[in-house]
Chain A
Amino acid sequence: MITVPRPGGRSGRADGAGPAAHTRKRSRVRAFGLRTRLLAAFLLVAAVSAGTTSALTYREARNALLKTAQDMAVSTFRDEVERTGWRLPVEEEGIEEILRDLARTGKPRPWVVFAEYGSVRASSGENPVSSVITPELRRAATADRYGSFQRVVKDGVPYLTIGMPTVFRTGPDSVLPSGLVLYAVMRLTDEQVNVDALLVAARNGALPGLAVALVPALLAARSVLRPVRELRRAARSMGSGRLDTRIPVRGRDELADLADTFNESAGHLERSVGELRDAEARARRFASDVSHELRTPLAGMLAVTEVLDEDADRLDPDTAQAVRLISAETGKLAVLVEDLMEISRFDARAAELNTDEIDVAETIRKTLQARHWADDDRIRTELPPGIRARLDPRRFDVVIANLVGNALRHGGAPVTVRLRTEASSSGTLALVVEVADHGPGIPAAALPHIFDRFYKADAARTRSRGSGLGLAITLENVILHGGTIRAGNLPGGGAVFTVGIPLRAEEAGR
């Protein structure tokens, strides 16, 4: 079965499926849209720069802070140690007093002092041996004999440990290691607090930076998105036929160039389409004019041929045959001109629906009677009464007559005219008229073109009684009613034309 598509441009509902597709596409675009990407990029740059700056600043400040504390502690410890005096060998008794004196002098804050000499271990605190001092520091102090320090974090508490080996003078210029090593252990709690404050400050500085970065990001996104949005709106408006759509060009950036190009292309398109339309209109007007011009002489000719037909019997047989031929061809010419004018009216969109509430079965019956087909035994009808619809009686008559005439002419008898109502897929009730014949059917190759103008399904029969416009006019009439027409073949042979017209035609029509 072939569904004849509605001619494009005629109805604004051709893009009926459009909005849903648009929103789907749009939502996907939005998730990774320009705005999102620009915001992300700006935030990324801001985060990286703010983060790096804060991190570096924080690190430098912290290191400076620690360096100050460490240097002060080490130099103070050395000064204080150098003020002490020891007898060698160092004796355990009395040593703690010296160590406690040392412990009080701690700068920037008190420390615990440990002494190691031979097997002597003593401290100013409770434990004679510190658990914080690392073997590395001990090695540096005992083996390498350098004053050295190390920061140790134990259980989350940072400590500064200082190892200070001692020497004594054996002469004005010579010293000798005494074997006594003093250690100081200082908690870096205040430094920890300061460092934490630095960290908080760095973080607090970075976060507003990120927030501030959002402003230029949004501005940049806006400056890009607004032209894009305008472009999209303009493209859509052009797609729906408003070819005079133009975009305001702002600035001199790439988007302005794009807008410029769009406007230029739109201008070209508008001009081309205008020219095409003009040409088409001219052609239509020409066909219409030709038909009109032919009508008057044809009317005269028809009157003359009628007279000639009446008098033909009195003429000699050869002349009579010629006269009858002229008469028949003139009649066909008149039909053709009428059909051409009808088509011209459709093309010019001058065709109007004059609807009326009618009984469909009754109308079909009248059509058949008017064509003297009512009592024809080649035609069978299945016309259930009571189906009423708002239709243009004249156009509906043309539709039925064309289909039945076409079936009688090209198909085989019997021709069945069937009327019924049917719920369409969209849920509205439609009246359906089927005209089926028992002929050979329509060749598959001809099906797509069966409603084309002057299309002949059977190439051999170039001279039929039809104008070649009958089905085209039928199609236009059905479309005017807001309906559809399909052509197809029955499984048992024979062609079938199915006309579907919504029952509430006054709503579906224009």
Chain B
Amino acid sequence: MRRTCRHGVARRRASWRDLAAAVVAAVGIPLMGGCGIPDSDVVEAGGPATVEAFLNRDADMLLFFRSSDGGLSPVIREVRPSAGFGDDYIEPGAADRGPSGPAGPAPTEKVVLALLSGPGEADRAAGLTTALPAVREKGTVTVEVSSDGGVTARLPLAVQGLDATAVRQLTCTIAYNQTEDGRGVVTLRGQDGAQRSGSCGLAPGASG
């Protein structure tokens, strides 16, 4: 009799303890868990910011080099009418246009040659490199635009051995030189007769 009594009391005590724990849990956890300002996940807040890059399509050319994170970085270079390739381009900002005035959109051949000559000093300072092999002798680049908007470029180098970044450098440079939005299929044809085609696809979103 007494034993059952004590047992009952013990059980009741235990249930009270459970109850107290439940109260602490019910009240405490929402308060404790939510105290102060908590961490959060990364929350998307709209698209990127559009900055002014002073791109003048009539006077500038757009080259794509490899960024340190492996992606492509566009570089804006002013075209000088006499510019061939090598280092004799005009630094952006040091806008001293030639006596012949604005040269108009640079021909794609010229732009591709500028790309093939590799990143300039300023580009290298920003950590930009190229995935394209150095072209020693002055080759020729010919660009044909077909009626459906596709572009075919003959390049003075072997296309077969180029890695994906190199192909994209060429494709994007050519595509953005041809059109404002860089769309359209570019076909690269090398000295080795190999042929690779693709589109740039750097524009954010489908419509850019």
Interface with A: B46-54, B98-106, B150-158, B161-169, which one? B46-54
Nearest Cβ in chain A — how far from B32, in angstroms?
9
**Docked CA distance A56–B40 (Å):** 18
Nearest Cβ in chain B — how far from A108, in angstroms?
14
Nearest Cβ in chain B — how far from A217, in angstroms?
15
B90-128 vs A, CB cutoff 8 Å, 1 = contact: the mask equals 001100000000000000000000000000001101111
Q: Which residues of B contact A145 (CB under 8 A)?
A: 47-48, 204
A46-77 vs B, CB cutoff 8 Å, 1 = contact: the mask equals 01101110111011001000100011001001
Interface size on A, residues (CB 8 A): 80
Known interface pairs A32-B12, A170-B55, A173-B208; A202-B31 also in contact (CB < 8 Å): yes
B119-160 vs A, CB cutoff 8 Å, 1 = contact: the mask equals 000110111100000000000000000000000000000000
Q: Which residues of A contact B76 (CB under 8 A)?
A: 87-88
Q: Which residues of B contact A355 (CB under 8 A)?
A: none
Instruction: Tally inter-chain residue pairs, CB-CB below 8 A.
Output: 223
Q: Which residues of A contact B55 (CB under 8 A)?
A: 168-170
A73-101 vs B, CB cutoff 8 Å, 1 = contact: the mask equals 01001100110111111111000000000
Chain B stretch 37-91: residues in CB contact (< 8 A) with chain A: 37-55, 57, 62, 67-69, 71-76
Judge whether B14 is part of the interface by a CB distance below 8 angstroms: no
Contact of A195 among B37, B42, B69 (CB under 8 A): B37
Q: Which residues of B contact A203 (CB under 8 A)?
A: 31
Main secondary structure of the interface of A (DSSP, over half): mixed
Judge whether A147 is part of the interface by a CB distance below 8 angstroms: yes
Q: Which residues of B contact A85 (CB under 8 A)?
A: 51-54
Contact of B127 among A47, A120, A175 (CB under 8 A): A120
Judge whether A174 is part of the interface by a CB distance below 8 angstroms: yes
Nearest Cβ in chain B — how far from A91, in angstroms?
6
Nearest Cβ in chain B — how far from A36, in angstroms?
9
Contact of B37 among A47, A177, A192 (CB under 8 A): A192
Judge whether B27 is part of the interface by a CB distance below 8 angstroms: yes
Judge whether A264 is part of the interface by a CB distance below 8 angstroms: no
Contact B30 A59 (CB under 8 A): yes
Judge whether A237 is part of the interface by a CB distance below 8 angstroms: no
Known interface pairs A84-B51, A166-B51, A170-B182; A191-B37 also in contact (CB < 8 Å): yes
Judge whether B1 is part of the interface by a CB distance below 8 angstroms: no
Judge whether A180 is part of the interface by a CB distance below 8 angstroms: yes
**Docked CA distance A195–B207 (Å):** 42
Nearest Cβ in chain B — how far from A269, in angstroms?
27
Contact of B34 among A55, A150, A180 (CB under 8 A): A55
Contact B181 A173 (CB under 8 A): yes
Known interface pairs A140-B44, A158-B36, A158-B37; A182-B53 also in contact (CB < 8 Å): no
Judge whether B9 is part of the interface by a CB distance below 8 angstroms: yes
**Docked CA distance A366–B207 (Å):** 138
A149-186 vs B, CB cutoff 8 Å, 1 = contact: the mask equals 11111000010001111111111111111111010000
**Docked CA distance A393–B36 (Å):** 93
Considering only CB atoms, which chain B residue lies closest to A58 in the complex?
B34
**Docked CA distance A62–B40 (Å):** 13
Nearest Cβ in chain A — how far from B59, in angstroms?
13
Considering only CB atoms, which chain A residue lies closest to B204 in the complex?
A145
Contact A146 B48 (CB under 8 A): yes
Interface size on B, residues (CB 8 A): 60
Q: Which residues of A contact B52 (CB under 8 A)?
A: 84-86, 168
Contact A171 B181 (CB under 8 A): yes
B16-31 vs A, CB cutoff 8 Å, 1 = contact: the mask equals 1001000100111011
Q: Which residues of A contact B208 (CB under 8 A)?
A: 173-176
Contact B74 A178 (CB under 8 A): yes
Contact B37 A66 (CB under 8 A): yes
Known interface pairs A47-B27, A166-B50, A174-B203; A150-B41 also in contact (CB < 8 Å): yes
**Docked CA distance A406–B9 (Å):** 56
Q: Which residues of B contact A196 (CB under 8 A)?
A: 36
Contact of A78 among B46, B54, B127, B128 (CB under 8 A): B46
Judge whether A188 is part of the interface by a CB distance below 8 angstroms: yes
**Docked CA distance A62–B33 (Å):** 13
Contact B127 A81 (CB under 8 A): no
Nearest Cβ in chain A — how far from B198, in angstroms?
17
Q: Which residues of B contact A48 (CB under 8 A)?
A: 23, 26-27
Contact A175 B39 (CB under 8 A): no
Contact B46 A52 (CB under 8 A): no
Contact of B46 among A32, A86, A90, A146 (CB under 8 A): A146
**Docked CA distance A250–B5 (Å):** 33
Contact A195 B47 (CB under 8 A): no
Nearest Cβ in chain A — how far from B52, in angstroms?
4
**Docked CA distance A203–B28 (Å):** 11
Contact A117 B30 (CB under 8 A): no
Judge whether A307 is part of the interface by a CB distance below 8 angstroms: no
**Docked CA distance A192–B76 (Å):** 44
Most chain-A CB neighbours within 10 Å: which of B53, B73, B204?
Answer: B53
Contact B49 A82 (CB under 8 A): yes
Contact B203 A119 (CB under 8 A): no
**Docked CA distance A119–B74 (Å):** 14
Considering only CB atoms, which chain A residue lies closest to B51 in the complex?
A166
Contact B73 A89 (CB under 8 A): yes
Q: Which residues of B contact A165 (CB under 8 A)?
A: 48-49
Judge whether A137 is part of the interface by a CB distance below 8 angstroms: yes
If A51-B30, A174-B203 are given as contacts, then 13 extra A-B residue pairs at C-beta distance below 8 Å, sorted by A number, are: A32-B12, A55-B27, A56-B30, A81-B51, A85-B53, A89-B126, A91-B122, A91-B125, A118-B67, A134-B42, A147-B47, A165-B48, A176-B62
Which residues of A line the B interface, CB within 8 A? 28, 32, 40, 44, 47-48, 50-52, 54-56, 58-59, 62, 66, 70-71, 74, 77-78, 81-82, 84-92, 117-120, 134, 136-137, 140, 142, 145-153, 158, 162-180, 182, 188, 191-192, 195-196, 199, 202-203, 206
List of 8 A-B pairs having minimum Cβ-Cβ separation, nearest first:
A119-B127, A171-B180, A51-B27, A55-B30, A168-B53, A174-B181, A118-B127, A85-B52
14 A–B contacts from the bound complex (CB under 8 Å) = A58-B31, A82-B50, A85-B53, A90-B126, A117-B126, A118-B126, A140-B44, A149-B45, A167-B48, A172-B180, A173-B208, A174-B180, A176-B202, A192-B37
